[in-house]
Structures are given as structure tokens and as C-alpha cells.
Amino acid sequence: MNRENKRKQYQKGYYKTHACDDSFTCRVCGRPVVPAGAGSDHRNHCPNCLSSLHVDDEPGDRAADCGGIMDAIGVWVRKNGEWAVIHRCRRCGVLHSNRAAADDNPMKLMSIAMKPVAFPPFPLERIEELIALMGGDGAVR
């Protein structure tokens, strides 16, 4: 890489407009992560354990000084049906939402999605009572 390109690479906001083709070793599970297979220009989390690093303030800007490990704590579905992963930084607690990549571990994604269902905030055996309370139209009376 010549010097001009190297300088460009570390400019603030570079990754916003350029594909991120870095390879890295996941700090959490140790898996080598390569850009190929993500189905996106920005690979910002490990496809195996879904962990990320707090290096961006806005996706791809590399403006954060924190550098903490970000755990995948939730998933949600965008309007277009696309899955996104919610990451929380272990060090500073910030929350980020990132598109799920094409090769993200589907079982890991599902296990995160199922967590609230597996640990409901009320006793599961009372779900019938709750449904009865809602009178069939979804409204709580």
C-alpha cells in the first residue's frame, strides 16, 4: 500500500464511503474474520459469536476512542424484513444497531432472539389468564 492510500485509510469517516475490507481476529472467540461472505461492504462484527468492538460512533466512522468489546444482546427486524443486531459496549454501555450479515451464525441469532421468550417477565403458566384479560382483541382491560 502506498503512503497516499495509507493516509486516506485512517482519515475520519473513511469507512463511511469506502468498503471496509479489513481482516481481524475476533477478540472474544478467537476466530479469524475475513470480509468475504458478509454480503455487505461493512463487516463490523464476528459472524461466529456476533461480538463487535466499540470503534465507531456512527457506523463506519471509526471515531470512537472507547475500543471496548460489544456483546450482541438483542436482535430486531427492520421494516424491510432485514435482521439487525443490537450491540452493547462492555466498557461504556453504549448501544448500537448493526445489520446482520449474510453469514452470521443463525443459531446464535436465534438464541438471542428467543431469550425474552425463554425468560418471560411473568410466570408462563399465567399466560392463559393474561390472554383472558385481553378479551381476545389484544387490548388490556
Shortest Å distance, C-beta 96 to Zn ion: 9
Dihedral-angle region of residue 51 (phi above 0 means left; psi in -120 to 50 means alpha; beta otherwise): beta
Shortest Å distance, C-beta 34 to Zn ion: 13
Which 43-62 residues touch Zn ion, going by CB under 5 A? 46, 48-49, 51, 54
Cα 72 off chain centre by:
5
Which one, 90 or 115, has the nearer CB to Zn ion? 90
- Residue at grid coordinates 466498557: 91
The CA-based diameter of the chain, rounded to the nearest angstrom, is 69
**What is the C-alpha to C-alpha distance for residues 85 and 109, in angstroms, rounded to an integer?**
8
Establish if 72 lies at the interface with Zn ion (CB under 5 A). no
Establish if 126 lies at the interface with Zn ion (CB under 5 A). no
Q: Identify any residues that bridge with 83 across adjacent strands, giving them in sequence order.
A: 77
Site string for Zn ion, 10-49 (x = CB under 5 A): ----------------x-xx-x--------------x-xx
- CA-based R_g, the chain, Å: 19
Q: Which residue in 35, 59, 68, 74 binds Zn ion (CB under 5 A)?
A: 68
Residue ranges in contact with Zn ion by CB under 5 A: 26, 28-29, 31, 46, 48-49, 51, 54, 66, 68, 89, 91-92
